[in-house]
Amino acid sequence: MERDNTLSELATALRTARNLRGLSIEETSKLLLMSDKQIVGLENDDHSHFYTPYFAEKATTSYAEFLGLDTSLYKIAPIISALNPDPPHTPLHSKGQQRISALKAHIRFGLAPIAWICLGFLVTVALFATLQLLRTIRG
């Protein structure tokens, strides 16, 4: 239960520090380039608005440092990782890797014939230009 208390204390500290600085949730989200839901989530121990515990950890650290809180007082990484060690969905970076692999396969197999056609066209044009040049010189 110590983890819950520590995370709860951190959330309370984030909300209190933001209020003491006179910042609204909207202002804070714009300054930190996060959504309003993410800011509210960090202040309420709700990390469901982040794709992975890693993103939640980094956002929490950034928000705490932005507000001038001493992040060494809170063990942020173990707390958030313990919340959700195995996310039920595929992380965003894995989806990106899948898209890149599909694109590479498409380029390798789908665009290769086009490359050969273009190369053949360029060789034909070069030969035609060379023949025209030879005819002009001889003629």
Q: Which domain holds residue 50?
A: 2-83
Same domain, yes or no, for 78 and 100?
Answer: no
pLDDT digits (tens, 9 = 90+) for 71-122: 777 766 555 555 555 544 445 455 556 666 666 665 555 556 677 788 889 9
Residues 77 and 118 in one domain: no
Q: pTM higher than 0.85, yes or no?
A: no
pLDDT tens per residue across span 17-67: 999 999 999 999 999 889 999 999 999 988 888 877 788 888 888 898 899
3-state secondary structure string across the chain: CHHHHHHHHHHHHHHHHHHHCCCCHHHHHHHHCCCHHHHHHHHCCCCCCCCCHHHHHHHHHHHHHHCCCCHHHCCHHHHHHHHCCCCCCCCHHHHHHHHHHHHHHHHHHHCHHHHHHHHHHHHHHHHHHHHHHHHHHHC
Q: Are residues 74 and 10 in the same domain?
A: yes
